[in-house]
Structure 1
Amino acid sequence: MKRIATFTKPCCVSWVGILATSSTSLPLPPSPPKRTSPFNPSGPFGPGTSSRCRSPLDHSCSTRCRVGPSSSGPGAFAFSPKIVYHKRAMIIFIYGDDGPRLKTKLLQLTTQFTTKFDTTGLNLASFYNSPPAMGELVGALTYPDVLQAVMSSPFLSEKRMVIVHNLMDGLKKDDAIMWADGLAKTPSSTILVLVDNLDPTKVEKHELFKRLKDGAEVHTYAEVKREGAALYSWLIDEAKKQGAQLSLSVATDLATRVGDDAWQLQNELAKVVAYANGAAITTTMLDLLVQSSSESNIFAFVDAISQRDAKNALRLLATERAAGSVDFYLLTMLARQIRILLQICVLLADEPGAAADVAKRLSLHPFVAGKATSQAKRFTLLQLLNLHQLLVKLDHDAKTGGLDAGLAVDRLVAEMLAI
């Protein structure tokens, strides 16, 4: 009597062996045709060979199959499966609109990876959907290039890491499905990190995220809006964590120079902390090390004018010119600031209780709105209207050659201080 033994697994090739109970040896069946694994094109499924087979549904198993003579009896043909279960490939999402914390988390992951698996850096690849930071070795963000990097085997290491920046930014649904299908085949030897500096709700609604999130490691960093006292307190705490002392007045000065960009503030603070070397941070150190943004300088400049502080205002004007700002640019920035002050003054005149809604009503950044609102309160509506009328005349004269741009700026500043 002959018995039929069948081994079947959804993710593997099924084989049927005929086991003979008689002592007569049966000839071995012909060798099955060589087949190519979609995950290992060079690995044939043939007699006496091993190959890995994965489930196309959940990637939950790998099977090493061997076909050859069985020890169960002479002439017998047997299928001897060796099933090894492995974890799903590691896919990590890092997303949110808090850029500094995103970069900190990514740096933490890459440092851990290079320390544990790849001290040479040969198994770390980055792809960008936007210009990379200076000095970074990166690849183009195209589907074939990224998939090739993801599917490649590590070089003299257990793992490789592939980082893809801002893939979901502008990616259409049909393309997202294609990317998701490809990235779902990420081998267990690759750590895939998807970094998107986008609003968390936008990422979580994206087709790519919805298709890959199950089983993935997810890190979300929503931006925390800081301004005024909260911003200064955060700077003081950050300095303390780095072993430095930062007073409230110096923290205020730093925020005024740099603005409320958290990433830039952290970079500037790190420079000053390193220079202070444990000593208290002073305004002199800020003067030496911190490059103020032009917009921040204009805020400080108009602040000095609104307080009728001629000495400080003229010092800031000289600093801007020494930094290379041309007079036409200064005239444009002053014009913008005067128009913002005028808009705020008109809004508050019509709706005195609207001070908290200035940013939303005038489509301004909260930091800009907060600074400008405090400045606008030091001018009357009539004063700002007169300044705007003068500004229009000076701008026309400067652009038509009737007046030097530098003299136009000086006259506008003099008129603002004389109010």
Structure 2
Amino acid sequence: MQNLTQDIKNHSFKPVYLLYGDEAFLKNSYKNQMRTAISGDDTMNYNYFEGKGLDLNELISLADTMPFFSEKRLIMVEDSGFFKGASDELVAYLPQMPDTTCIIFVESEVDKRSRMFKKVKEIGYAAEMARQDFAQLSRWAGGILAREGKKITGRTMELLLNMTGDDMENIRMELEKLVSFTMGRDVITDEDVEAICTVRVTNKIFDMVTAIVNRQTKKAMDLYEDLLTLKEPPMRIMFLIARQFNQILQVKELMAKGMDKGAIASRIKVPPFVAGKMMPQAKTFTREQILSCVTQCVEAEEAVKTGRLNDRMAVELLITRKF
């Protein structure tokens, strides 16, 4: 991402860019910065495409069109699927594209083995917008608060990120609430965070898995009902349960290698406090039991996909099953 920042600063742009990864906030932020830097308010030399099934001939024709009273023509393409499926014609065209055109691809799904991905890396720049770790999020959130004249301790920041999760857009919204809530005060406290911040779905999933691990079936089912009330789809809940058990398995294997909380957090890319919570869970089960949990999650998903169970019933059976 430093390369993107440098290109924007120097106003020197490569012919093609790819912004991809799980962190939507960063993708949108850099997409907007790039558009402002390249074309500003110019709509005549800016074209936008979204979704699969794009007309390649139209795209190439526009890319070949000289900009009108401007240095660059900018073409923005989102979620095209070009980096998952075959796009040989576009791969062959990109090196021939006039230097007056810049194309920015913003993609949710990318196959790094694809010819398209390799070509963009060769002649342009591919920037992965991954989820940020605890230290990065702390610095970023602390910077936002500092610009608003607010101070926050490391302990309170940990509490905040524990409640918000690692989604940067969600953190940004919670920070705005905190700034408004503490108007007239400089320091943000634990009490402020607990009073105003919304607990993320992933935190409820964590509590649910803890209840499952501790054989607290009623508590796990109550948390499941809470998530359904929040309009959370059962299949997403199942996915998050499976992901949680996968992470517990990784934690257990890393603990067996003698790694401490900090090292484990760094390896599996979660905040240290999250790793610290998963370590007791990992101790509760044997490796084989955790593998069995993961397998049962896969089997539950398969039962839904094949029509043997509806999604809600599948998750209920998964929660009440004896692991």
**Fold conserved (TM > 0.5)?**
yes
- Name 1:124's counterpart in structure 2: 46
- Name the CA distance, whole Å, in 1 between partners of 2:282 and 2:69: 66
Partner letter of residue 196 of structure 2?
A: M
- Whether 2:196 is the aligned partner of 1:285: answer yes
CA RMSD of aligned residues (A): 5.5
Task: Give distance in 1, aligned partners of 2:314 and 2:119.
Answer: 53
Q: C-alpha separation between the residues in 1 aligned to 2:32 and 2:225?
A: 40
The answer to whether structure 1 residue 273 and structure 2 residue 175 are counterparts is yes
- Runs of at least 5 residues in structure 2 that lack an aligned partner in the other structure: 1-11, 183-187
2:93 paired with 1:179: yes
**Matching residue of 1:36:** none
Matched residue, 1:93: 16
8 Å Cα contact 2:44/2:68 also seen in 1? yes
Q: In structure 1, the residue corresponding to 2:83 is in which secondary structure?
A: coil
Matched, 1:108 2:33: yes
Whole-Å Cα distance in 1 between the matches of residues 87 and 233 of structure 2?
Answer: 46
Q: Which runs of 5+ in 1 are unaligned?
A: 1-88, 132-139
Conservation of the 8 A alpha-carbon contact between 2:145 and 2:175: no
Letter in 1 for 2:284: F
In 2, Cα distance between the equivalents of 1:326 and 1:298?
13
In 1, are the aligned partners of 2:67 and 2:73 still within 8 Å (CA)? yes
If each structure's helix is expressed as a fraction of its own residues, which one has the higher value? 2
Give, in whole Å, the separation in 1 of the partners of 2:233 and 2:114.
Answer: 40
Give the drift of 1:259: 4.0
CA contact 2:79–2:106 (8 Å) conserved in 1: yes
Work out the CA distance in 1 between the residues paired with 2:215 and 2:223: 13
Q: Aligned residues, how many?
A: 281
CA distance in 2, matches of 1:156, 1:200: 37
Question: What is the CA deviation profile of residues 246-283 of structure 1, one whole-angstrom value per residue up to 9, with x for unaligned ones?
Answer: 554554455445544xxxx2211222233334523522
From the superposition, tell whether residues 96 and 192 of structure 1 become closer, same or farther in structure 2 (CA, over 3 Å): closer
1:322 alignment partner in structure 2:
229
Compared CA separation, residues 245 and 338, structure 1 to 2 (3 A):
closer
Counterpart secondary structure, 1:163: strand
1:161-186 CA-partner distances (Å, limit 9, x unpaired): 22245776247685355312541x35
Using the alignment, how far apart are the partners of 1:325 and 1:276 within structure 2? 25
Q: Is the 8 A contact 2:91 2:115 kept in 1?
A: no
Say which SS state the counterpart of residue 162 (structure 1) adopts: strand
Q: Say if 1:322 and 1:171 are closer, same or farther in 2 by CA, change over 3 A.
A: closer
Find the aligned partners of 2:233 and 2:27 in 1 and give their Cα distance: 36
1:163 matches 2:83: no
Residue 233 of structure 1: CA displacement? 2.6
Higher strand share: 1
- Report what 1:151 is aligned to: 64
Report how far residue 107 of structure 1 moved.
Answer: 0.9
Which whole-Å CA distance do the structure 2 matches of 1:312 and 1:250 have between them?
27
Shift of 1:146: 1.1
Q: Which residue of 2 aligns with 1:300?
A: 207
Note if contact 1:161-1:192 (Cα within 8 Å) is conserved in structure 2. Answer: yes
8 A Cα contact 1:232 1:248, kept in partner: no
Deviation, 1:355, is 7.8
Q: Counterpart of 1:271 in structure 2: which amino acid?
A: M
Q: Is the 8 A contact 1:165 1:196 kept in 2?
A: yes
TM (norm. structure 1) is: 0.47
Choose 1 or 2 for highest CA Rg. Answer: 1
> 2-side partners of 1:91 and 1:333: how far apart?
38
**Residue 125 of structure 1: CA displacement?**
0.6
Percent of counterpart pairs with the same letter?
13
Q: CA deviation at 1:306?
A: 6.0
The answer to whether the Cα contact below 8 Å between 2:18 and 2:105 also exists between their aligned partners in 1 is yes
The alpha-carbon deviation at position 127 of structure 1 amounts to: 2.8
- C-alpha separation in 2, matches of 1:319 and 1:230: 31
How much has 1:110 moved relative to structure 2?
Answer: 1.6
